[in-house]
Every structure is written in structure tokens, then in C-alpha cells.
Amino acid sequence: MRVSVAADERAGVASLVIEELRRRGHQPIAHGALAEDERDDWAWASEAAARDVAEGRAEQAIVCCWTGTGASIAANKVPGIRAALCRDGATAAGARRWNDANVLALSLRATSEGELGEILDAWFDSPPSGEPDDRANIDHIAEIDG
């Protein structure tokens, strides 16, 4: 799977995300501080990763900044993106299952290497729900996007 990855600095688990995706057989697409010639500010980097998903260059994205909050806000401004800030595996599983989240936001400050593995396991192992109520919510989010 192609997964776009953005970070505003090479701190915390930023570089480890790329390594972990490759180890799991995914194709990372780097943005921000993880790329050679891109602006590394969180708003620009997260937007670039989210646009990869929205425009079909990647199936999912992972966006990172110090708290993860700014990265998730920027990604969610791109139509069609459902970014979720996840601090643990249970939240990541729920974000995929009930919200059909297509962008994972992570805190570079608060995510440990061990937690990263648990979050990625849950994220990639949790398919979106097919339940009518859950799908109705996702459809309504698309309507809000306009």
C-alpha cells in the first residue's frame, strides 16, 4: 500500500514511521522534514500528505507534528480526508472501524516506539465497518465537505 508520510521535524518517531512502513511492506511517500526539498512546517507538510490521499497518489497517510493536533487539523482541511489523532492502538482501531479514517495523526512528543508499533498494528488490521449506521455517518461527513 502507498502511504504518504509527513512530519515537520525529524524528532521522536518521525523517521521510524518510514522504516516501520517499509518493514511492513508498504511504500512510503515522504513529505516535509522527511523529504529533500519541501517546506517542513506542519501545515504544509500535512496538507501535502493529505492531498496524496485525496488525489489518489496514496491510499492512506500518516501526519506528525509535536502534539499531532496541528497535523490533524491541516489534513482535515483537505476535502475527503478523515484524519484522526491517535495516542494508542484502541483509538486507532476505532478511528479506522467507525470513522473510516484515512489519515493517521501522531504526536512526535508523546508516541513511543512501542506505542507506534501498537498503533500501526491496530490501524492496518482494522477494516472500516460496513454497518449501515457507521456508513451513514461517513456519508454525512462527505456531505459536510460539500
Active-site amino acid positions: 65
Return left, alpha or beta for 78; rule: phi > 0 is left, psi -120 to 50 is alpha, else beta.
beta
C-beta separation of 28 from 5 below 8 A:
yes
The grid cell for 126 is 482494522
Neighbours of 17 (CB within 10 A): 27
Q: Under DSSP, is residue 12 helix (H, G, I), strand (E, B) or coil?
A: coil
Task: Tell me the one-letter amino acid at 27.
Answer: Q
